Structure 1
Amino acid sequence: MNSIIDLYKSMFNEDVTTINQDCGGNFITIRELLSLSSMSTSRLIGGSSGLDNKCTSIVVWETPDGLDWLIGGEFILTAGYAFKDSPDIKDKLIDKIHERGCSGIAIKEGRFLDEIPVAMRERADQLGIPLVILPKSKVYTELVSGFYEAIFYKSNAYLLETKKTHEKLLDLVLDKKDANGVLEALGHLGNLSIVLAGPDQLIHNSFLHHTINHQLVRETDLETAFHEDNFYRIKIPVEFDDNQMGAIHAFSLSPFNNLIRHMLNHGAKIIGMNMKKVDLDIFNEIRIKKMITSLIIQDKDLTDDFMKNVTANIKWDNKRLSYGIGLKFYTDKSQMPGAEIIQRDLNTLLKIYDKNMTFLIGESNDIFLIFINNISQSRLYELIDLLRFKFSIQNSILSLSVSLSNPFQNLADLTKVQDECVVTALINKPGETLTYESIGTLRLINPLKNDPTVITQYNEIMLKLEDYDLQNEGVLLDTLFQYFNHNMSKKETSEELHIHVETLRYRLNKIQALTGCSTSSSEGLFTLQLMMKLKNIL
């Protein structure tokens, strides 16, 4: 626990003065100044567009050269004594204090200036310099003390708010809130709608303070849901140990002050810590799902009681339609993410799509398998689109084929469902979605792989060709594949293989001699074609 607290303290080890300055504790605006009781008898006569100018100090000015000493941010109090011997000063007064960066000016009425010139008011309006009239009897000390009291209370109010915010964020660390819990707390603290997007540009978690009429699935959906004409928006990266883990997007109906920005930055760090921990939990969850899948597929002697317990524990509904999905990635193996990483991403994506989804995960050679319970065909294809989007964004070099089983219901049918996915994947192509139902004769041949007589014949024929090719650096199997692939046209096959037609005839005769299957009779060709199809399955 101490290590968590220490990490939190390092995150929030910021100079209090910096926070105070960022959050506005060292100034008040002209608008706030005029609302003070000490300014209740004053009148604003010009420069109203500058009411949000920041006042960092208040000064009394009564000498002609006094303006040259100003450094910016001052609110000027004057009785106009400087105008007495230098009347031309008032013509350039507003330009001068604007040039010096002053926030505004208040002039006592009827002391040394009987009337405020129209030109001065107009210039104040043009430059956004608030021009205020004070009663002749107003005491400066009352104004000055009121100003600095306001600065003091505003400073302490921001520090108190900062402290309370940090205490609530520390509670999130100590309570070990997940990403949803952190987003909800941040949303309540700042009256924000806030979402977490992953590096795959999908929305992983969200808390919506505002009502929107749009489904949030991809990061691009945020543009439509939170239109810039209606919402202020900020994006904060989520990182841990210099690893980019996504970003939080916050939306508000009012501008973000620096306290809210600090809060969101620290919230992003908490989410980064949590996401690292969640990764470890996901890997454990995947191992359990793979173990259940492996047991069901490999062990033929599982009892009915065992299957009932598994079905109940993972909340699989045997009355609902389910589908198997086989995913195959096509890329340079050196660029291929590890199997655990892909399975983690699949697990995360399925939960983003439907947090209540029931599914198992498996693997067969280089095909990643997902078995999804209770999903309609339309939602299945919607999910496939999301899968393609995720992996194209996450790694643009990946090309993906998707192979679908026939619909099934019972968890005990996973062996058959896996076979359907694997067989379909064998003839699928990069970028394609193919169903088991659509693969034709290969679907009819699939059951033959379990027939002992067929397997014996397969070994007698195919192993002879494989041995010959291995010992003679031959190409008989490839020749046979191309021959069938070109509808047994000798001309097209020889062109594909870049050999003479007589060379092709020699190879076909060699195949006949080794296997005993005639390459000129329908029965021999059928047997060879059947063995080649089985080769793809076995």
Structure 2
Amino acid sequence: MKTVNDLFILEGMREAVVLAGHRGLTRNVQFVNISDTPDAINFLAENFLLLSTGYAFKDNTQEFCELIKQMNDLNCSGIVIKINRFFHQLPTEVKLLADNLAFPIIDLPTAHTLGEVSRHILNYLNDHEAEQLYYALHVQKEFSDMLIKGYSLSALLEQLGHLLARPCLLLNHRGEEIAQSHHFIKESMKQVKEEVIEKVKEDLPLAREGTTFTIPSRELESVTTFSVHTKRQYPSMLVIFDSLTLPYPSSQMAIEQAGNVISFTIVKEQAIEENARLLKNNFFADLIEMKIQSDEEILSRSNYYGLQKNMENVCIVCTIDTKGEEYESLQLYEKKIGELHNTVYDQIEDEIINEGVTATLFTKGKYFAMVVQFQKYGDEQVNIITQFLEKIQTNFNGDFTLSFGVSHSVPSLKEIPTIYQEAVEAITQGYEQKLNGFIKYYKTRDLEELLKALPRKDIKALYENTLKSLAFPKTKEDIELIKTIQVYLDSQCEISETSRKLFVHRNTVKYRIAKAEEVLNCSLRDPADSLRIRVALVIGAILNEDENVVNH
């Protein structure tokens, strides 16, 4: 952008004299306006240069000063005025104010009309912008040709560094290097690059938006980041050294055009990456559905995707909690759901890399599945997993929460189908308990949990058929029989132990057991009969629990 000082090379401005505000000649000029009305300020904005005869203020110095203050507040460029037309000399108050504000006031000779000078200035400004635009289009064409020919990101960065004569870096959304210009090959630039990356990582959100900063080894040289948007939630970053002093005709527009082509190249590479991800997920689906039978094939394909043999394997599944109207409305838009899943995948992948966890990430339907590997698995590793998953939940940026199911560990890659099912069952149990944003470790369901999952009419029929008249004891004698059976079975059918626990004589226990076996038509010492009765007693406790809930 041109400054007021640059205008003095133009026809009509060569003989102009600066009357006040010399320090403000570095102000930028982008637009020109001609006005002799008292309300000229209403038609001005930042970087506007006002051309005027001063007629509106010839008898009112105070209003002239007020206009200067208002123009200065708007960051206008200055005033070009024909001082001899109505003033003959600049009022002292106006001169002092303009000098104090560093606001240029320039006297235009009467031989030149305001319209003529305005045309020269506008042509000069527009020609400059046209040249910048032409150069930017030239850059875009050059880079587009490279894109069509399949040049790599490294080649694009090398070309950009050559065009701008500036060191250039391309970083991903995590602040990691993707490509660099030739400037960083020098040994002296390696520390510079490390300082830049460290500075970017200090405030990634700001760097992704675009910012300018300095680094210790180059305090006199600015470093600027530019957003490079892709299909991902967070943009990559183009880093250019000293871009604020780029020589003409290099411009921000040229950088933007190069950035667009770099963006397209990254999107193309992301599409290739997504295809590779699809192949990886297909392998995982084949593995957990046991479509791969050969141990050698399981080992070789697992190793290709980063899974090693002779390790303890733990499966973690993750899903987005489906709660609230916002998620329900999202389900109507397949594209938005796809973007949401890509965002979650990227963020989980980021955390795996940032935390240095040995894990391979897959997707299966609505689930994100991680196979995490350890040399050994114990309480310490459980704590590592818990802290890792809690960090993912904390750092997850979105309107939704994430839940996790974690399996037991297994030593063989062939057993991954088992631990995947365990992890899915763990997360399912969490949702059955109406939880959200949880971490649930798999545990084997006990007999009572399994029975509770069965239809009540079925377990009630089993209960009644097994315990017969003792199923719903009414008399004191029946209640004592049921209690004796329970204690007797819990005491491993030991008469003495049962007698001690019930505080009754051994003969009383013998009598009750004989009576119970007669009523139930079975032997409590027979393993099969004993198992059926144990199960029936558990069912009885479940039915009683249901009845208590109803009554309350």
Q: So what's the TM-score if we normalise by structure 2?
A: 0.50
Post-superposition CA distance 1:447-504 (Å, at most 9, x none): xxxxxxxxxxx9xxx79x96xx5xxx72737999xxxxxxxxx9xxxxxxxxxx9xxx
Q: CA deviation at 1:380?
A: 4.5
- Give me the whole-angstrom Cα distance separating, in 1, the residues matched to 2:18 and 2:461: 96
Q: Determine the C-alpha separation between the residues in 1 that align with 2:539 and 2:420.
A: 22
Matched, 1:325 2:323: no
Matches within 5 A, 1:352-371: 352-353=350-351, 359=360, 361=362, 363=364, 369-371=369-371
Distance 1:516 1:393, change over 3 A: farther
Pair 45,194 (structure 1): closer, same or farther in 2 beyond 3 Å: farther
8 Å CA contact retained: 1:326, 1:369: yes
User: 2:121 & 2:149 partners in 1: Cα distance?
Assistant: 42
Kindly indicate whether residue 404 of structure 2 is the aligned counterpart of residue 401 of structure 1: yes
Change (3 A) 1:54 1:514: farther
1:432 aligns with 2:429: no
CA gap of 1:181–1:320, structure 2 versus 1, over 3 A, is: farther
In the alignment, the residues of structure 1 paired with residue 460 and residue 320 of structure 2 have an alpha-carbon distance, to the nearest angstrom, of 25
User: Which of 279, 290, 293 is the matching residue for 2:282?
Assistant: 290
* Structure-2 change in CA distance of 1:275 and 1:149 (3 Å): closer
Q: 1:310/1:94 Cα in 2 relative to 1: closer, same or farther (>3 Å)?
A: same
Report the CA distance between 1:323 and its aligned residue. 3.1
Q: Deviations over 1:17-52 (max 9, x none)?
A: xxxxxxx5xxx4314335889869965642645742
Letter in 2 for 1:414: I
Deviations 1:146-171 (A, max 9, x none): 85785365234322332234325534
2:27 aligned partner, one-letter code: D
Do the aligned partners of 2:137 and 2:257 also contact (CA within 8 Å) in 1? no
1:32 and 2:6 aligned: yes
Alignment partners' CA distance in 2, 1:35 and 1:126: 26
Paired letter, 2:370: I
Distance change in 2, residues 1:224/1:88 (3 Å): closer
Match for 1:155: what amino acid?
E
> For 1:155, which of 112, 129, 144 is the aligned residue?
129
Opposite residue 166 of structure 1, the aligned amino acid is Q
Tell me which residue corresponds to 1:450.
none
**Aligned ranges for residues 100-499 of structure 1 at < 5 Å?**
103-105=78-80, 117-125=91-99, 129-132=103-106, 150-151=124-125, 154-168=128-142, 170-171=144-145, 173-174=147-148, 211=196, 213=198, 221-223=204-206, 260=252, 264=256, 271=263, 275=267, 278=270, 282=274, 285-292=277-284, 294-295=286-287, 298=290, 301-304=293-296, 306-318=297-309, 322-327=313-318, 331=322, 347-353=345-351, 359=360, 361=362, 363=364, 369-373=369-373, 377=381, 380-381=385-386, 383-385=388-390, 387-388=392-393, 393-394=397-398, 396=400, 400-406=403-409, 408=411, 410-418=412-420, 420-422=422-424, 424-425=426-427, 427-428=429-430, 430=435, 431-436=437-442, 439=443, 442=444, 469=455, 474=457, 476=459
Give yes or no for contact 1:326–1:421 (8 Å, CA) kept in 2. yes
Gaps of 5+ in 1: 1-23, 446-457, 481-489, 491-500, 533-538
Q: Give the number of equivalent residue pairs.
A: 428
Alpha-carbon distance between aligned partners in 2 of 1:331 and 1:517, rounded to the nearest angstrom: 50
The structure whose Rg is larger is: 2
**Contact kept in structure 1, 2:460 and 2:539, CA below 8 Å:** no
CA RMSD, Structure 1 to Structure 2 (Å): 7.0
Change (3 A) 1:393 1:178: farther
Within-5 A mapping of 1:45-64: 45-46=20-21, 48-49=23-24, 51-52=26-27, 54=29, 56=31
Aligned equivalents of 1:273 and 1:399: distance in 2?
32
Amino acid at match of 2:301: V
Find the aligned partners of 1:524 and 1:335 in 2 and give their Cα distance.
50
Are the counterparts in 2 of residues 245 and 272 from structure 1 also a CA contact under 8 Å? Answer: no
The alpha-carbon deviation at position 385 of structure 1 amounts to 3.5
Relative distance call for 1:478 and 1:274 in structure 2 (3 A) is: farther
Partner Cα distance (2:462, 2:253) in 1: 67
Q: Residue 409 of structure 2: SS of its match in structure 1?
A: coil
Q: Secondary structure at the match of 1:211?
A: helix
Secondary structure of the equivalent of 2:317?
A: strand
How far is 1:246 from its partner?
A: 6.0
Q: Which residue of 1 aligns with 2:505?
A: none
TM-score normalised according to structure 1 size: 0.51
Distance in 2 separating the partners of 1:413 and 1:406:
9
Alpha-carbon shift at residue 384 of structure 1 (Å): 2.1
SS in 2 for 1:309: helix
In 2, the alpha carbon distance for the partners of 1:32 and 1:128 equals 17
Residue 336 of structure 1: how far off its partner (Å): 8.9
Q: CA deviation at 1:394?
A: 4.3
Distance 2:329 2:104 in 1: 64
Displacement after TM superposition at 1:359 (Å): 1.9
Q: Is the 8 A contact 1:183 1:195 kept in 2?
A: no
Gap change, CA 1:350 and 1:283, over 3 Å in 2: farther
Contact 1:57–1:75 (8 Å) recurs in 2: yes
2:33–2:50: 8 Å Cα contact kept in structure 1? yes
- 2-structure distance, mates of 1:179, 1:328: 34
* Alignment-mate amino acid for residue 222 of structure 1: P
How far the C-alpha of 1:104 sits from its partner, in A, is 2.2
**Cα offset for 1:130?**
0.4
Letter of the 1:352 partner, please give it: D
CA distance in 1, matches of 2:239, 2:69: 35
Contact 2:49–2:78 (Cα < 8 Å) also in 1: yes
Which letter maps to 1:151? L
Do the aligned partners of 2:171 and 2:237 also contact (CA within 8 Å) in 1?
yes
CA distance 1:513–1:195, change in 2 (3 Å) = farther
Which residue in the other structure is 1:20 paired with? Answer: none
Q: Would you say the 8 A contact 2:299–2:309 is kept in 1?
A: no
Residue pair 1:362, 1:368 contacting (<8 A) in 2 also: yes
Is the alpha carbon distance of 1:476 and 1:186 closer, same or farther for their aligned partners in structure 2, counting shifts above 3 Å? farther
